[in-house]
Amino acid sequence: MNDLSLQPHPDFAGRPGPLLVIVADGVGVAPEEDYNAVHRAHTPTLDALAEGPLYTELAAHGLAVGLPTDDDMGNSEVGHNALGAGRIFAQGAKLVNAALADESIFETDVWQAAIARVTGDGTKTLHFLGLHSDGNVHSHTDHLYQLLRRAAAEGVTRARVHILLDGRDTPARSALGYIEATEAVLAEINGGDINGEKPDYRIASGGGRMTITMDRYEADWEMVEKGYHCHTHGAGRPFTSAAEAVETMYAESDSGDQYLDEFVIVESGEPVGAMADGDSVILFNFRGDRAIEISRAYEETGFTAFDRGDHPDVFYAGMLEYDGDTKVPKNYLVPPPAIDRTMGEFLCFEKVHSFAVSETQKFGHVTYFWNGNRSGYIDEDLETYVEIPSDNVEFNKTPSMKLREITAETVRLLKSGRFRFGRINFPNGDMVGHTGDLEATIEAMEVVEECTARLMAVIKQLDGVLIYTADHGNADIMYTEKDGVRSPKTSHTLSPVPFAIYDPGHNGEYTMSPPTDVGLSHVAATIFNLLGYQAPDDYNESLIDFG
């Protein structure tokens, strides 16, 4: 028997129609309070699913999705990995933590090459670029600090830090606290002695993560262009310190950290951290989706997405390999999780026709991440992927996003009769939730309700099955309150997520029977069962029971 073959389920052959999975991104289950946009929205269809017999709730954070501890928020990357792989794999932060703990990261050829390039010559610089917070979704400042201290210990006398402000996986205006902590580490290093020389470690540039550098899925190359020129050539509004930059921009608008403009630190009118031939650059983000484009900008030969100007000859490395198929970046410090035998591979082996649909912001989640960090099709003859282009706007301005377009395309594919299985992502709960705008997120959830109801009607017409679930929480807790003062919460939550089966043909053939350790990785086996297959032996067990 081939390793990717599936055996028929002995008790259930599946429904005649297709199986559709809706991933309502960022829709968690939290107490029914004023801060809960999921609860506040008028959603009779979703409420009925939650009250039905084929409903449970799944862990979507921490150990359940391969993160280091249960204090770690889930995210779309690890959530879709777990949904598509059916097992738990150690994920970015956990891998990096382990590599730093045993110091294997510093024994790699990549680290040693980056260090060798900038030691012994006080004119060369080691640059660190990344999301500047402890949100632990894309990066962690603890990782940055360990890299900085090790660089100093290995003789690097000159380093620059290029900071991307968070305010998305952290409180909306929390940048100054992180800057203060980083400046303290830099001062500690600068107060020492490196081979008889005084170290020169500084913050050099920065800007909000949703304004520069951290675009994904090629939705807005202008973001990347601004970031590249800011970090590389020192192009941006000048300030004497990062704290001055943030304080000034706070005074000028109500924008959170993630939307602040690019800035550079200058001395005597010149940027302190422009990159030059012979420098090394390390991107310390561990998550892939928002790291790929800036990595391409630094290392791709024949790059055409924008004009890089006088592109310096730097040694560039990522914390991890962000795309295993396209090999971006070429150099990386920690090997990524090797996710094999995904749901998609099994279904393609069994010649099951499937589709995946979302808008640009989440398209890679139902393709790349769902397929175990693999770009492109597994089998183009069997699969159809449809990307609906996202609008380049602040998403609280258009809370419906492209949900109706995603739904219309899904209806077309379902009614074509070609597909046995489909998966789609509704981005609104996450993308609008990240803005911290409660009313806009309530409106977004009501569009999720509308589109889910429409798809349920089509599934009923086709005698199929629909699964409604999510990848992590966000819209369920929109603000926190301390001493009577409310603050917008723009980050993900530790909430469980809903899992509901809508099966119009259900006649008691199976019941919801979740295991005690229930989490997102149990969904894949459930999907196999509902398609009429037994799950692979090493997959986490199904949420339903046919006994």
Q: What is the DSSP annotation of 375-408? A: -S-S-TTTEEEEEEPPPSS-TTSSTTTTHHHHHH
Question: Integer distance in angstroms from the first to the last C-alpha of the chain?
Answer: 26
Give the C-alpha separation, 29 to 48, whole Å: 14
Give the amino acid at 71.
Answer: D
Taken as a whole, the chain contains a residue count of: 547
Q: Which residues are catalytic?
A: 76
Contacts of residue 445, Cβ cutoff 8 Å, sequence gap at least 6: 27, 37, 38, 40, 41, 43, 428, 429, 475
Give the C-alpha separation, 442 to 528, whole Å: 33
Strands of 251-343 (E only): list them: 263-267, 270-271, 280-283, 315-320, 332-334
Backbone angles phi, psi at 46, to 5 degrees: -65, -35
Strands 280-283 and 126-131: parallel
**CA distance to 97, 115, 280, 316, 409, per residue, from 110 (Å):** 17, 9, 11, 9, 44
* Paired residues of 422 in beta bridges: 20, 355
Give the C-alpha separation, 87 to 289, whole Å: 21
